Chain A
């Protein structure tokens, strides 16, 4: 019975997951329930954007800065180790490693940003593929409601067998 004992959700510290799940499910519902192909694609992009939100909120560090190093590019390597402090948990480790007080700059995690950055542009490219398929379907079938398209297909198949 311990299987069903979940951790309690704290709406204060985990609100991001709750809201992202709600948004994701709204997008999924639009994809499932709507018949119109363009509306389905809009639902897909809502779903996609909420996945982006999920990734980015995981990478957020409270009190952090955007991952653009404060005086990174002028470094010649001698004192660069002072600015590479990242999350609060690592401050102590960096101090221990370099034997001096680390500069107290906290950056958010850059890795989710990189993953999502490319995903956004790929997302619009795939959206364009979906839209162009929709346009071609509209030109052939005269409608973009998928139940009508199915009915037309069914009718065509019936005629095809009788011939």
Chain B
């Protein structure tokens, strides 16, 4: 072999190559699939396999989180969103795929051009592994006295960062509650200050549109708005509040 320093392939590297091959195959399968159910499940598989690779890369905390969040919670969320939306995605005509393909190939080629300058995989002397990360390892043993350096850096050294992330999660939760409602009724019931109805049940944009593209839902919406308002308020407004 031409690589004298690391000529032998470690068994762990065979595992790495195997997991990466699975990742690439799953990613291309996501491109080809049209059933949303299959796509969402493949996304869960992708997350789980990358969590397995994180373990091989010594990032046990990250692997733990990725397995719980990526493969667990986000799959459940996507499935429940899919249940509320469509089950199939429409095929995209070939003429509309050429532009994205060209952009992606150019961007990928530009990045591959730069890869030669990057430090080798597992290099201990690379800039990323030489300064601040090492410093955290040294300081945690002396200053904080807990073995898990990731927790120490997360909660103490980079506490501002984690505070910001917590606020982002809080804000995202608020956003979802505003969009959908904790009981799933946002946008369906109407605010009634002083007993007066304020907004309509269906969005105003769709009332005048009658195109062949519309699904069966929109006429239903239109008839709902045409209904007498008082019954609407009683049946829909009070149920969930």
Contacts and interface: CB of A to CB of B under 8 A. Distances in A.
Interface of A: 6-10, 12-19, 21-30, 32-39, 41-43, 45-46, 49, 52-53, 56-73, 75, 77, 80-81, 83-84, 86-90, 106-114, 116-118, 120-129, 131-136, 138-145, 148, 151-153, 155-156, 159-160, 163
Given A107-B137, A112-B133, A129-B176, 14 more contacts: A6-B114, A35-B90, A38-B81, A38-B86, A39-B39, A46-B46, A81-B138, A106-B124, A107-B58, A107-B149, A120-B65, A127-B78, A135-B180, A151-B213
A34 B104 CA distance: 13
28 contacts: A6-B114, A6-B116, A7-B117, A13-B120, A13-B121, A19-B23, A19-B24, A22-B24, A23-B23, A30-B30, A33-B92, A38-B39, A39-B89, A52-B62, A53-B53, A60-B121, A62-B6, A80-B142, A86-B137, A109-B134, A110-B149, A111-B136, A124-B69, A125-B168, A127-B77, A129-B172, A145-B89, A152-B211
A144 B213 CA distance: 12
B192 interface: no
Contacts of A163: 208
Contacts of A143: 86, 213, 215
A156 B205 contact: yes
A47 B97 CA distance: 18
B124 A159 contact: no
B217 to A, nearest CB: 5
Interface string B69-91: 11001100110011011100110
Nearest to B2: A12
A163 B138 CA distance: 72
Interface string B122-153: 11111011101110111011100111111001
Nearest to A128: B176
Nearest to B64: A117
Given A121-B165, A138-B85, A67 B180 contact: no
B13 to A, nearest CB: 9
Contacts of B96: 33
Contact of A46 (B6, B43, B119, B211): B43
B87 to A, nearest CB: 10
Interface residues of B, number: 113
Contacts of A140: 202-203, 205-206
Given A67-B137, A134-B81, A28 B104 contact: yes
Given A87-B134, A110-B150, A142-B214, A152 B175 contact: no
B150 A114 contact: yes
Contacts of B81: 38, 131-132, 134-135
Contact of B97 (A26, A33, A156): A33
A159 B209 CA distance: 8
B149 to A, nearest CB: 4
Interface string B212-226: 011111100000000
Contact of B115 (A9, A39, A61, A153): A9
Given A41-B78, A143-B86, A56 B136 contact: no
B130 A59 contact: no
B58 A46 contact: no
Given A121-B69, A134-B85, A87 B122 contact: no
A42 to B, nearest CB: 5
A43 B187 CA distance: 28
Nearest to A15: B121
Nearest to B90: A145
Nearest to A47: B27
Interface in B1-45: 3, 6, 17, 20, 23-24, 27-28, 30-31, 36, 39-40, 43
